[in-house]
Amino acid sequence: MCEWDDSGMSFSAPLITHWDPCGPFDLARTLGVLQRGANDPTVRVSTGEAWLCFQYDGAATAVRVRHLSAGAPVEFAVWSSAAEAVADSLPRLVGAHDDWAAFDDPAFVDTLPRLVTEARGRHPGIRFPATGRVFDALVPAILEQKVTGMEARYAWAYLVNRFGTPAPGPVPRGMKIAPTAAGWRRVPTWEWHKARVDYKRRDAILRCAHLGSGLGRLSDNPDAHEVEEKMRTVPGVGAWTAAEVLQRTHGSPDHISVGDFHLAHFVGQALTGRRTDDAGMLELLEPWTGHRQRVVRMLGLSGAKNPSYGPRLHPMDHRAR
C-alpha cells in the first residue's frame, strides 16, 4: 500500500503504534535534547510532534512521534523496511524506561534544593530519552568538543546535508539520515575543512567510524557505566563526550558533562551563588549520586542564570589550516 504527499511523491504506508505514558509527558523537552540546533537535518522537534531520521540495522528509517494532548497516548508512525523492530524500540526512545520514582520520593525530595523541586513541579512530564544508537550519538558529540554550539551545529548540518542519505516517508523538507560508519570514512579531507572541523575532532570521529560495529554493540549493554569505560578506550572520547552520549543513548540519570565550558560555573552559581570548577560541581552534586543529571536538568529548567563575564567566545575558522 502506498500513500502520496503534497508533491505527488509516493511512499509506503507507515506502521502505526501507540504507547501510554500513564501520566504527564512532555514530548518537546524529552526529545528536544536529541536535536542539534534548528537546522538539524536528522531531528525536528516541536510542540506535540517530532521527526527522527536514522539507520536501523541498515534500514533507512523515519519516525514521526505525536502527543497532541494531555492524557492521550503517544503515537508513533514508522517508515522503514525494519518497521516492526524499530517500533519495539520506540517507547524506550521516548523515556518509557526512565523511572523517576526514587527521585520523586518524598524523603529524597526533602534533600533537594528548592530550585530543583520547583522546576520538577513545573515539568513533571520530562523523561530521559534512550535512542540506543551509540555510534550515531558519538559523531555530533565529538563535533561539539571545545567549540561553540554555533560551530558544532554548522558542522553537523553541513556534513549530514552533504553526505547523508534521503529519509523515507513524508518527512519535513530537508531531513536526511546521517552517514553510516562507512559513510563517515569516505568524507574527503577538504570537506572536513569546509565544515570547519579541526583535525583532532575529525580524527576522533574517524577512529570511532573504524570501530563502528563494535561501538554499535555497546547499545545492547544496559550498564551505562560499563559502556562509558569501553567508549573511553577510544582516543578522543573522554568523560564529557561519554556523558553527552549516554544521556541520549541510555537515558543515564547520573552522567553529567564534566569538562563543559559553562556547566560547573552554572551549577555552582545556582546552588551556592558562587561559580565553581568541575571538582566543586562534583562535590556539590555528590549527595544526589544516581540522579545527578536529573538535578542538573532541573536546574537548567529552573530559570537560574549564569552571570556573563568578559567578551563572547567567537567561532574559530579551521578552513585555512
C-alpha–C-alpha distance, residues 271 and 299, integer Å: 9
What letter represents residue 106's amino acid?
P
pLDDT per residue over 102-149, tens digit each?
Answer: 999 999 999 999 999 999 999 999 999 999 999 999 999 999 999 999
Place of cell 492521550: 72
Q: What is the pLDDT of residue 9?
A: 43
Distance (Å, whole) CA 163 – CA 205: 15
Write down the pLDDT at residue 275: 95
Q: Domains, the chain, ranges and CATH?
A: 2-97 (3.30.310)
* Measured distance between the N- and C-terminal CA atoms of the chain, rounded to whole angstroms: 52
Average pLDDT, integer, range 194-218: 95
Residues 301 and 280: their CA atoms lie apart, in Å, by 21
In tens, the pLDDT along 243-296 reads: 999 999 999 999 999 999 899 999 999 999 999 999 999 999 999 999 999 999
Q: Pairing state of beta strands 49-56 and 2-4?
A: unpaired
Give the number of other Cβ atoms within 10 Å of residue 3's Cβ: 13
* pLDDT higher than threshold 60 for residue 320: no
The distance from CA 101 to its chain's CA centroid, rounded to whole angstroms, is 23
Q: Using one digit for the tens of pLDDT, what is the confidence trace for 167-184?
A: 999 999 999 999 999 999
User: Does the pLDDT of residue 308 top 70, yes or no?
Assistant: no
DSSP state letters, 61-129: EEEEEE--STTSPEEEEEESTTHHHHHHHHHHHTTTT---HHHHSHHHHTTS-HHHHHHHHH-TT----
